[in-house]
Structure 1
Amino acid sequence: MDFSQRYVALGDSFTEGVGDPDPGSPNGVRGWADRVAQQLILADSSWGYANLAIRGKRMRQILEEQIDAAVLLQPTLVTIYAGANDILRPRVDIDALMEHYDAGIARLAATGAAVVVFTGFDSSGSAVFATTRGRTAVYNELLREIADHRGADIVDYWRMREFRNWSYWDTDRMHMATAGHLLMARKVLETLKASHSIDLPELDARPALTRLNQLRADAQWARDYLSPWVGRRLRGVSSGDDLTAKYPALSQPDWSGASVR
C-alpha cells in the first residue's frame, strides 16, 4: 500500500514502548509512538507508520542502524530520541555525542520530513539517576541548538513536571508506565498540533511509606531491576540484543483490539 504521509519513529526503549505492556503487539509492548500513529491514522487514512526503535540502543547504534532505514522509507514525519543510554554510562563525551546527533538529524531533515526531537528527562527526583542530571542538562542545551539549526520541533520532556508523579512510571523506575506513555502521546500530538481522542487515566494514589518500608522497597527494586541492569552493562549485553524492530516497514498496524486511550 502506498502512503502519502509516512511517520517513522526512531530510538531506544523510550520509543519502542517499554513499560506499556501489550501481548498483542510486536515485542510485547505498545508505547506512545504507536498511540501517536493510531491517532494520526484515525484522523487521516493516508498515514503509514514504521517504528524502528529497539530497547538498549546507544546513540551510535541508533544513528548507524536506523537512520539509513528511515531515509529509505521517505518519511514525512520522524520522531527520534537518542542518547539516554549513553548518558547513563560511566563515561561519555556529551559534546562529541551531540556532534554525531546533529549529523544524523541533518540527514533526516534533508529528506524534507518534519523532525521531532526530545529533551532528556530531569532525573533530580531519582536517588540513583540524579547524578546524571548535569549531563542531561548539557545534552538538552546542545539539542536546542541543533533543533534551531535544523528546523526540528522539540518535545520538552525536561519541563514536564507531571512526570514527577511516580504513578506515571513503571515498577522498574526507568521507563514510563502505560499512563506515562499516554501522557507522552498527548504531548507529542500537541506539539504536532494534531487532533486526538486520548484520555488520561486517573492515577492511583500511592500511600506514603514509612522510612523502614521505603528502605525495604528500595532494596527490593535494587535486586529486581538495578542489579540486572548494571550486570548487563558490565557484560556488554543489552536487553534488545535479540529483538528486531516492531514495525520495520510502513503499515497501518491492527490496533482494533486495543483501546484508543
Structure 2
Amino acid sequence: MGWAERVADLLRRVHPDLAYLNIAEIGATTARTLATQADRMLAFGPDLVHVPCGANDLFHPEPDFTTIEQTLRRVFELAAGTGAQLTTFTLGKAFVVPKFPDWPDRVRKLNAITRVLAADHDAVLVDMWDHPLNSRPDLLSADRIHFSTSGQAVMAAEVVKGLAAVLNTNQGNIA
C-alpha cells in the first residue's frame, strides 16, 4: 500500500465517509500533471490535496527549472484555489539516479522550488532531504526510484504528523 492510500485509510478511521480520489499518473511530469490531472482535481472538490514535487521532471537530460517552477506554481495555485489543505514533500538524499552525475544538484534545486511554493501556499511540507530515513538500506524498492514498503509507511507517518500539526495549530488541541 502506498503512502497516500495509507493516509486515506487512517483518515477514514476518523471520518468513515471520506471520499478519496488518487489521480496520480506514474511518470507524470509537472506539465502532464497540469494538463491531465488538474480538471479532475477541481471537479472532485477536495478538502485535502497532495501536490507533487516535480520529481519526474528531473529525468529530462537538461531540466528547465524555470519552466518546472512556473508549472508547479500553477498546480499549487489551482490546488490552493479549491480551499483544500495542501501537502507536498521534498526528495530525500537517498533518491539517486547514477545516470545523471549532477543528480544531487537537480534534487537540491527542485527541493528549493518545492519549499518556496509550499510556504507560499501554506502547504504541509514533509522535508525528506535530511530525514533519517535516507540512511535505511531498505528505503527504496527494486527500481531504486520509489519507496519500498517501509519507506511508504514512513512517508505516510510524516504526512499524518504534518497534518496533525496543522490541526493543532488551526483548531487548538483535540481531545
In 2, are the aligned partners of 1:169 and 1:176 still within 8 Å (CA)? yes
Letter in 2 for 1:78: V
Q: Does 1:56 align with 2:27?
A: yes
Q: Does residue 73 of structure 1 match 2:49?
A: no
Whether 1:163 aligns to 2:95 is: no
* Contact 2:97–2:103 (Cα < 8 Å) also in 1: no
Letter paired with 1:184: M
**CA 1:129–1:156: 2 relative to 1, 3 Å:** farther
What percentage of aligned pairs have identical amino acids?
Answer: 29
Contact 2:91–2:128, Cα closer than 8 Å, also in 1: yes
Query: Does structure 1 residue 179 correspond to structure 2 residue 150?
Result: yes
TM-score, normalised with respect to structure 1: 0.59
Which of residues 111, 125, 140 is equivalent to 2:82? 111
- Change over 3 Å in CA distance of 1:47–1:187 after alignment to 2: same
1:189 and 2:157 correspond: no
Structure 1 position 130, deviation (Å): 5.8
1:10-21 equivalences under 5 Å are: none
1:121 Cα offset (Å): 2.3
Residue type matched to 1:137 in 2?
R
Aligned letter for 1:116? T
| 8 Å CA contact retained: 1:76, 1:112 | yes
Residue type of the partner of 1:48? A
List gaps (5 residues or longer) in structure 1. Answer: 1-29, 195-261
- 1:228 is matched with none
Once the 2 structures are TM-superposed, how far is the Cα of residue 85 of structure 1 from its aligned partner? 1.3
TM-score by length of 2: 0.86
User: 1:140 is matched with which residue: 98, 107, 111?
Assistant: 111
Query: Which amino acid in structure 2 is aligned with residue 44 of structure 1?
Result: H
CA distance in 2, matches of 1:90, 1:127: 13
More helix by share: 2
Q: Distance in 2 between matches of 1:135 and 1:124?
A: 11
CA-based RMSD of the aligned residues comes to 1.8
Q: Which has the larger radius of gyration?
A: 1
Amino acid at match of 2:133: E
Contact map agreement 2:51 2:75 (CA 8 A) in 1: no
Match for residue 60 of structure 2?
A: 89
